[in-house]
Structure 1
Amino acid sequence: MIVRPTRLVAALIAGFALVGAAQAQKAEVIHWWTSGGEAAAIKEFASMYNKMGGNWQDNPVAGGGGGAARTVIINRMQGGDPPTAAQFNYSNQYREAISAGLLNNLDDLAKKENWDAALPDSIKTSIKVDGHYYAVPVNLHMPFWVWSNKAVLAKAGVTKEPQNMAEVIAALDQVKAKVPGVIPLALGGQGWQENIMFRGVMLANGGKDLWLKVHKDKDLSSKEFRKTLEDFKKLKQYVDPGSPGRDWNLATGMVIEGKAAFQFMGDWAKGEFINAGKSQGKDFGCALVAGPTTPYVIGGDVFVFPKSDKPGVKEAQAKLAAMMYSKEGQVAFNNKKGSIPIRTDVDLSKVDSCTATGVKALKERRLLEAHEQFLAPDAVGAFEDAVSKFWNSDQSVDDALKAMQVAVKR
């Protein structure tokens, strides 16, 4: 995609050129994007900032689905040595930092770009607190996709992407029976990955109504939730013994290489396929297991800008935020990341069908808040622990259900 520079970015570039290389504004950026596709995406932001005359200092922190990085970020802010910018997700993860007065607001940029009108309410709920904007949204991820290797499916006689859990399980059975040596389901056996798969099954079984009943109403008594537990445990038979502790991108690599047929994972997995030179529709497939009108759960990434007494930091932060939200920044980054731009006023005419599904949901405002928006952090952790215990033990459905019910009410 080719996007002409906006006046805003053109002005930033011109301004940086006047500063000169000797006075380039340093910007230390902490994030957790360390896989091939993720690293390629963040380099787009870094390259753009450096071309504007800045000095991007990359500080990736791997591990824990972002948990390790968030710990570093919070500790640095509380210790008086904050980075220039830091990655978080759409969630309540940075609310305590706002309450503690540790973050600068982005009201000037929000007013200039008319975020009040441009952004969906479900996004604003995460980044606007007490009337002020505290984070720049850079993308929209949908965490609950099923990815597949087209060549493996062809060998198994699976002719279409599964559109519900019954079709997923039928396809897994076909791979298991007809393609010896190939693992039907690649899973990274880490808690957050197990929970992505669990919630994907939940969406497939109950859609928006079940999602809100569980996370907002904290009611797990429905037959659809019980079926979610049963279907989730059925998936265990398709996973290989090497799953525990496996990183998500290694599981994606198994699908890319044809060592596995399917993976439940967010659309950041697409960045790995793209980075490997694979094409959607030809080499790999994507499906929403409740069909094309599956509620698009808000996942994705923001950057916050901690307060600092160092000279020039606030100016660098303003330029970083404007660049990240710019049309060209959004397109360049998201083309590599596998996510969709948060802006709907960029050229998306040549995107693949996976991205087109997300763009359609965004334009229709068919979005659904993530579970972190409804549950307290302690409840999120307790629920995820309960899901992982159920997956990794012989615990009964009844006992797991009781544990999860207690967890969501914390």
Structure 2
Amino acid sequence: MFTVRTLAAACAWLAGAFAASAWTTAMPVHAASLHAAPKAEVIHWWTSGGESAAVRQVAQAYRDAGGVWIDTAIAGGDQSRAVTINRIVGGNPPTAAQFNTSKQFLDVIEADMLINVDVVARAQNWDQMLPAPIIDVIKVGGHYYAVPLNIHMQTWFWYSKAAFQKAGITREPASMAEFFAALDKLKAAGIVPLAHGGQAWQETVLFSAILANMGGKELYLKAMRDRDQATLLSPAFRDVLLAFKRLKSYVDAGSPGRNWNDATAMVIAGRAGFQVMGDWAKGEFTNARQVAGRHYGCMAGLGPASPYLIQGDVFVFPRTRDAQTVKAQQLLAQVVSQPTLQVGFSKLKGSIPVRTDVDAEELDLCAQKGIAIMKDRSRQAGVTEVYLTPDQNGAMQDVLTAYWNTSMTAEKAQKSIANALKY
């Protein structure tokens, strides 16, 4: 939460740092408007229990800094992004909007509909501080267009300690073979082995986890970043597809259409053993008053060298000529950049702060694991949306969900994915 010191710093920053920014291209701020509280309408999709608690931290920090927060929460990332883009294109943009750290907002940047945040980036030395996969998507044409709030890792393995005990699992699996063996033990004990939300994006997350853990960083990047046709059509990639489809036999009949947080609730209750999901799931454990290492476990991968697939949450600021909106955007950019806010947000959201100069002692066991891994740049890689355009990612997602839910062969899925990522 904001302190007097951080509020004073915010005021000083607003008075000086933005004097040279792109924001100054808006109309001058008249004296009368200087005394009005900055009012920010923020569109986001943080609607689950843990997410709602986290975004309240941002809203309160904004109020503490003198702003008025107007919350426009829209359930579902796809729906929220569509509303945001339609409003920007239609000339009725929000003050700010949440996106993932990905190419989701590239078209809006290319249409010159977002304001750059280079002044913030220079002040915080983003070129040196931020991981390369994040820089690659928020810096376009030499300019930064989004303020990152956190770092998420998409492919954590969450497990119930109670379920492990009931199934006689004594240690975390450290390979795909050990993972399948643990799933078999859970099934034999009458526990749902794998809690899965049967939605297309969740199938992509699950597939990404198998690709990263079976093929390692080299195979993952050749397939997703380079879209190398020989790799996509290789026996190694086919083996990944077969292992991915094999997981279907460990999922319960109620999976289709299930939300990710409802799948997390199954692990929280001990009705399921594992869930493969981003670290935003940890916010649900926290909201249920469960403690990492006591009630549940978290594995960043199946072994010490598995790629750490990162993205995160950012705020973007639609271009505007309204002086009061500019003022509100400036204040919000400062608020979400504060180390104290980033720690408080991540404690509830399940992520880790994007800034490296924060005091992370308050963060839990899983977050500490993530922070330690992030120090090893050799393990960093982006999620599929970091490397693929929305159209490419959507085409691959369509193939994966069809393969998961139908009798499509691995060979057909493999050829279809290669074709989808060919151009």
Report if TM-score (shorter chain) is over 0.5: yes
1:298 maps to which residue? 310
2:252 maps to which residue? 240
Between the aligned partners of 1:15 and 1:285, the Cα distance in structure 2 is: 41
Q: 1:199 aligned to 193, 208, 216, which one?
A: 208
Q: CA deviation at 1:318?
A: 1.2
Q: CA deviation at 1:282?
A: 0.6
Between the aligned partners of 1:9 and 1:109, the Cα distance in structure 2 is: 16
1:364 maps to which residue? 376
**Secondary structure of the residue that 1:126 maps to in structure 2?**
helix
Instruction: Map 1:316-327; keep pairs closer than 5 Å.
Output: 316-327=328-339
Between the aligned partners of 1:288 and 1:134, the Cα distance in structure 2 is: 29
Between the aligned partners of 2:58 and 2:314, the Cα distance in structure 1 is: 13
1:12 maps to which residue? 10
1:151 maps to which residue? 162
1:308 maps to which residue? 320
Question: Is this contact kept in 1: 2:41–2:69, CA < 8 A?
Answer: yes
1:188 maps to which residue? 197
Q: CA deviation at 1:292?
A: 3.0
Q: CA deviation at 1:39?
A: 0.5
2:17 maps to which residue? none
2:359 maps to which residue? 347
Paired letter, 1:169: F
2:21 maps to which residue? none
Q: 1:281 aligned to 293, 307, 322, which one?
A: 293
1:214 maps to which residue? 223
The 1:20–1:312 alpha-carbon spacing in structure 2 relative to 1, beyond 3 Å, is closer
1:51 maps to which residue? 64
Paired letter, 1:49: Y
Question: Is this contact kept in 2: 1:161–1:286, CA < 8 A?
Answer: no
**Secondary structure of the residue that 2:370 maps to in structure 1?**
helix
Between the aligned partners of 1:380 and 1:283, the Cα distance in structure 2 is: 35
Between the aligned partners of 2:218 and 2:132, the Cα distance in structure 1 is: 19
Between the aligned partners of 1:53 and 1:41, the Cα distance in structure 2 is: 19
Between the aligned partners of 2:8 and 2:171, the Cα distance in structure 1 is: 46
1:175 maps to which residue? 186
Question: Is this contact kept in 2: 1:162–1:287, CA < 8 A?
Answer: no
1:389 aligns with 2:402: yes
Between the aligned partners of 1:123 and 1:199, the Cα distance in structure 2 is: 18
- Count of residue pairs the alignment pairs up: 402
2:171 maps to which residue? 160
Greater mean deviation of Cα atoms: 34-43 or 6-15: 6-15
Greater mean deviation of Cα atoms: 125-134 or 19-28: 19-28
Question: Is this contact kept in 2: 1:207–1:290, CA < 8 A?
Answer: no
Question: Is this contact kept in 2: 1:9–1:322, CA < 8 A?
Answer: no
Q: CA deviation at 1:53?
A: 1.5
- What RMSD over aligned residues (CA atoms) do the two structures have, in Å? 2.1
Q: CA deviation at 1:13?
A: 6.2
The Cα offsets for residues 94-116 of structure 1, whole Å up to 9 and x where unpaired, read as 11111111111111111222222
Q: CA deviation at 1:251?
A: 0.5
Between the aligned partners of 1:406 and 1:103, the Cα distance in structure 2 is: 33
Q: 1:60 aligned to 67, 73, 90, which one?
A: 73
Between the aligned partners of 1:44 and 1:243, the Cα distance in structure 2 is: 32
Q: CA deviation at 1:15?
A: 9.7
What's the TM-score once normalised by structure 1's chain length?
Answer: 0.93
Q: CA deviation at 1:377?
A: 2.3
What's the TM-score once normalised by structure 2's chain length?
Answer: 0.91
The 1:329–1:263 alpha-carbon spacing in structure 2 relative to 1, beyond 3 Å, is same
Between the aligned partners of 2:12 and 2:133, the Cα distance in structure 1 is: 35
Paired letter, 1:88: F
Instruction: Map 1:95-134; keep pairs closer than 5 Å.
Output: 95-134=106-145
Q: CA deviation at 1:7?
A: 5.2
Specify every segment of 5 or more residues in structure 2 that has no aligned partner in the other structure, as ranges: 15-31
Between the aligned partners of 1:211 and 1:338, the Cα distance in structure 2 is: 25
The Cα offsets for residues 147-187 of structure 1, whole Å up to 9 and x where unpaired, read as 11100110100112222211111111101112x2x211111
1:272 maps to which residue? 284
Question: Is this contact kept in 1: 2:233–2:415, CA < 8 A?
Answer: no
Between the aligned partners of 2:11 and 2:183, the Cα distance in structure 1 is: 51
